[in-house]
Amino acid sequence: MSLSRRTILLSGAALGAAGAVTGLPVAVGAAAARRPLAYPFTLGVASGDPDHDGFVLWTRLAPQPLAEDGLGGMPDRDVPVHWELAADERFRHVLRRGVAVARYRSAHSVHVELAGLLPGREYFYRFRAERHLSPVGRTRTAPAPWTMPAALAMGFASCSQYEHGYFTAYRRLAETEPELILHLGDYQYEYAPDTYTVPGGNPRDHEGPETRTLANYRQRHAQYKTDADLQAAHAVAPWVVVFDDHEVENNWADEAPEAPDPEFPARRAAAFQAYYENMPLRRTSIPRGIDMQLYRRVRWGRLTTFHMLDTRQYRDDQACGDGYRDCAAAADPARSITGAEQEAWLLDGFRRSDARWDILGQQVFFAQRDNNAGPLTVTSMDAWDGYVASRDRITRGWLAAGVRNPVVLTGDVHAHWASELKLDYADPTSRTVGTELVCSSITSTGDGADSASGSHPWFGFNPHLRFQNNLRGYVRTTITPGQLAADFDVLPYVSRPGAPAYTRASFVIEDRVPGLHQTADNPVPSAARTAAGAGVDDTVQRETVRP
């Protein structure tokens, strides 16, 4: 029977029965005499951080993924894991194979960092531990640095609160078969069950307490990774990931927790360790205590450079006690959301760039969002509005460097937004100098609700804001030398599985023309609107009422 590529990748099916597949060597000798492992690939497979000659392959062994100690039911020994890389999904043409060690001290995670491959090619990979074979994953190398690709299909997502709904949006994104996926933070949430709830109650529950220890974070990551829809998205394309706040705790800022906590350094170190263990990151991101190198660049030939930012680890504490404030301190030139070293790295990258599109992959809202119709400017101290001088230096930096097409990608706010970027937001007639695309959440805050385009009350005093929608979803982009096309995909509900996805609105950014041209506006069908139910705009609810 012929199996299509989509069937293999989206079903998570291995090519053959575990323990009965040829091609990968089977353990013999002393190791075989030990108690055999139960099926260990419950967390799926993933790849990430593609370069023109390689990428990272990832898996983690966990026969009992929800074990309270965070070790997934694995024995307290290291385990050899065989891996294969092939040119086809049936592994008839195996190109590379080798053995990695899943180490007990690293929760039996595996990171295989490959190089020396051909650029711009599709590859397939799988793992074996003892007689068990993993699902098959698809990945690819980036194009050669000197080439101009015809197009890149890239999707980006954020904010997947397991308790708030089903991860159907991940599967719908996977079904579009993107070449690259960016995750912009809040991959998992730290809360204990019944702490962060949606109206009507959470459809699913977290295992374990609020995450504070390494065992807690390992268990929580494992619970998320057991979701079949998330596994499908990881298996279909390489990911480039950055964290936001909930991978540690809500609204943390460098060494400042949300509330006073003398144990926060240990908590942050534990969260970083678990994050690395569960993500397809290169060895350059291995944490060292409370430090983790996460900002980096991914080049897609001369078409696109992705500048992936870390807006949590180096920022000054939120001004004026956080929340929405009219806060003079937010404009203090000494304040930074990136830290001086990362800012210098970013500005240098602008100056050196020869890409057609320079894209910032980052976490929190970049454009100004004033929520006050009166004379006050009331903005979120957790977003770039709380670090106005930092935003101004970076915006002027890409202008001074002559960046051809600057685009900012954002997560965090649990709603779709599209905005035009200005040097002077107080002057609506000032020229547009860039564009921001914001993805909604995968599940966070539950079903949400549709609204007519342009109806959000903040649009009247933020004319640079062009689109908003409060349904859950993700953003798909098609990037060519001539334009960046963005489709804002939504789901009518996440409170039960199996929702369809459709494109709510589409925009185009033309080469050398910063700003947004809307090409489609697709209101929710009445049946889907009824299924979604009445909701509130999370841009208000989330940032004013927090658990």
Q: The domain that contains 440 carries what CATH number? A: 3.60.21.70
Give 72-121 pLDDT, tens digit per residue.
999 999 999 999 999 999 999 999 999 999 999 999 999 999 999 999 99
User: For the chain, how many structural domains are there in total?
Assistant: 1
pLDDT at 536 over 80: no
In a domain? residue 20: no
pLDDT given at position 7: 57
pLDDT given at position 21: 43
Q: Mean pLDDT over residues 245-271, rounded?
A: 98
Cα separation of 278 and 218, whole Å? Answer: 8
Domain range spanning residue 419?
145-180+237-242+295-544
- In the structure, what pLDDT confidence band is assigned to residue 539 with cuts at 50, 70 and 90? very low
Per the CB < 8 A criterion, the answer to whether 10 and 101 are in contact is no
In a domain? residue 374: yes
- In the structure, what pLDDT confidence band is assigned to residue 35 with cuts at 50, 70 and 90? confident
Q: Mean pLDDT over residues 38-64, rounded?
A: 98
pLDDT given at position 540: 35
pLDDT given at position 12: 54
Q: For residue 260, give the amino acid letter.
A: P
pLDDT at 221 over 60: yes
pLDDT at 225 over 90: yes
Mean of the per-residue pLDDT values of the chain: 92
In a domain? residue 1: no
Which residues make beta-bridge pairs with 406?
358
- pTM value is 0.93
C-alpha distance across the termini of the chain, in Å: 52
In a domain? residue 160: yes
Task: Find the DSSP H helices in 384-437.
Answer: 388-400
pLDDT at 533 over 50: no
pLDDT given at position 34: 79
Q: Quote helix, strand, coil % in the chain, to nearest 5.
A: 20, 25, 50
In a domain? residue 411: yes
In a domain? residue 359: yes
Which residues make beta-bridge pairs with 137?
125
- Beta strands 324-325 and 239-241, pairing class: unpaired
Helix (H) or strand (E) holding 82: strand 79-86
In a domain? residue 231: no
- In the structure, what pLDDT confidence band is assigned to residue 183 with cuts at 50, 70 and 90? very high
In a domain? residue 77: no
Helix (H) or strand (E) holding 268: helix 264-277
Residues contacting residue 474 through CB under 8 Å, at least 6 positions apart: 155, 156, 157, 169, 172, 173, 439, 440, 442, 489
